[in-house]
């Protein structure tokens, strides 16, 4: 998925051991919706955050999510389109421009 608006669409990213922080780069704009970002989805260690990508102007390639992770383990990051928007947004589009990692 590079971008999607339909609820349930998702993309996953594998993060190798040695990584200390993961991030999501996306576009924020007037027609953007909400996404759920989960680290280690489907496991007991799952940590999820809902992000709202609405902004009154367009801001491209912005870090919209960042989370510290255990560097002794590998991880999976999942971005899922919720198909929802806040009251000011004109759409539910979610862009995944890039994932970032730091070690």
Distances, alpha carbon 69 to alpha carbons 20, 30, 88, 98, in Å: 5, 31, 33, 18
Q: How confident is the model at residue 97 (pLDDT cuts 50, 70, 90)?
A: very high
Distance separating alpha carbons of residues 48 and 56, to the nearest angstrom:
25
**pLDDT tens digits, residue range 1-50?**
589 999 999 999 999 999 999 999 999 999 999 999 999 999 999 999 99
Q: How confident is the model at residue 92 (pLDDT cuts 50, 70, 90)?
A: very high
The pLDDT assigned to 1 comes to 58
pTM of the predicted model as reported, rounded to 2 decimal places? 0.94
Domain ranges in the chain are 3-102
Give the class (CATH, top level) of 3-102. mainly beta
């Amino acid at each position: 998925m590079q971008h999607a608006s339909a609820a349930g669409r998702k993309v996953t990213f594998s993060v190798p051991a040695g990584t200390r922080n993961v991030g999501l780069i996306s576009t924020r704009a007037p027609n953007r919706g909400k996404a759920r970002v989960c680290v280690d989805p489907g496991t007991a260690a799952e940590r999820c955050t809902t992000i709202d990508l609405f902004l009154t102007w367009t801001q491209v390639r912005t870090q919209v999510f960042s989370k510290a992770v255990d560097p002794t383990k590998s991880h999976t990051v999942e971005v899922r389109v919720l198909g929802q928007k806040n009251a000011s947004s004109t759409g539910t589009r979610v862009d995944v421009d890039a994932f970032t990692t730091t070690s």
